[in-house]
Amino acid sequence: MSDARVVLITGAAGGIGSAAARAFHAEGWRVVGVDRSSDSVPGVDHMIHADISDPQAPERIFTELKESFDRLDALVNNAAMQICKPIIETTVQEWDAVMASNVRSVFLSMRHAYPLLKATGGSIVNVSSVHAVATSANIAAYAASKGALLAFTRATAIEFGSDNIRVNAILPGAVDTPMLHEGLARGHIAGASLDELVRGLGGRHVLNRVGSPDEIGRAIVFLADNNQSGFMTGQDLIVDGGALCRLSTE
């Protein structure tokens, strides 16, 4: 086990984060999870309880990681928050909270992860969203943060490439997670129950369903693993059931 690769996943207790933890664990990685939640997560070997939006948190997280494992082969920046409000009703505090969680935390985590990743020739996967490419009403702060994450992915891929660190982004579409359920409460999909709302949203996809967290988790492992995607960097992988390929006018 001492030679096993180590991955750190932020937001590890959430739908996509926990699925990624299980996927990495199944492939023999040692999984370090970071989350505000105190819940244990299957597949996580070491949990660090922290709020990634706290600018002091990354230094503590990576100090603990180094003390416990002294190596890092992949960083998955997955933690995020979503505010569903019209732009003119979004407060400065809400805007800043989204950016702190979804963008600044990634910047700080990558800075602290860099020496460990350089030593292993590791990789970074930033969990963006299809909202970075095509979005909806009343979700502007989230969409802006995910768009920023794409630009940051490309910039860091260029800067880190000479150190043999790959940086890619994954853009999930609608995935059956608690965040999706909360978003559906906006009422933009007709239906009486949560199951009906999810099915209604799924029906708008080419594959006639929403995605599962496990499907996104396996795609994250693919991007993180040098043996599977070693010639990819600065790229964004869309996993959305075909949602973006269909014209909205059809």
The catalytic residues are: 142
Contact 43, 22 (CB under 8 A): yes
Read off the DSSP letter of residue 227.
H
Q: Looking at 3-91, list the stretches that DSSP marks H as alpha helix, in order from N- to C-terminal side.
A: 15-26, 57-68
The number of angstroms, rounded, from the C-alpha of 34 to the middle of its chain's C-alpha atoms is 12
Contact 41, 27 (CB under 8 A): no
Contact 172, 240 (CB under 8 A): yes
Return the amino acid letter for 182. E
Question: Of all helices (H) and strands (E), which one includes residue 13?
Answer: none
Cα–Cα distance for residue pair 74/162, rounded to 1 Å:
17
Burial of 107 (0-12, 13-18, 19+ CB in 10 A): middle
Cα–Cα distance for residue pair 244/204, rounded to 1 Å:
11
Cα–Cα distance for residue pair 240/146, rounded to 1 Å:
15
Nearest one of 133, 14, 134, 26 to 76, comparing CA atoms: 14
Cα–Cα distance for residue pair 50/29, rounded to 1 Å:
22
